Amino acid sequence: MLARTRPLILMLCGFLGASGVMLAAAASHGEDARLLGSASTMCLAHAPVLLGLWIAGARLKTAQLSALVLAIGTILFAGDLLSRHFGHGALFPMAAPTGGLGMIAGWLLIAIGAFYKETS
């Protein structure tokens, strides 16, 4: 199943990168940019990581799973901040912390990948 996620990872990379730029632009024009700026930062920090994991492909056994976990975590985290910014409240209880834990888990999966033999 993970073998078929490569196009999804690249699509999520582009989505997060574009979202990060748009959120940064929106933050620069609004009154309270705190939540938009934080969402932008998370998107722009993780989009290049997804690209790197996409490039790593089979050379890092945990690349695809790491990328998916990072992407889902980032989307949850940023989505919750956006929902709060626009006055809709949380996406669901504990959405931002759940997304944050997802991002942490994704980074740890990358670290765990260091202990697996490179598959070339």
Q: The pTM is what?
A: 0.90
Computed over every residue of the chain, the mean pLDDT equals: 92
Average pLDDT value for residue range 45-52: 96
**Which tens digits make up the pLDDT trace of 61-100?**
999 999 999 999 999 999 999 999 999 999 999 999 999 9
How far apart (Å, rounded) are the C-alpha atoms in residues 24 and 39? Answer: 8
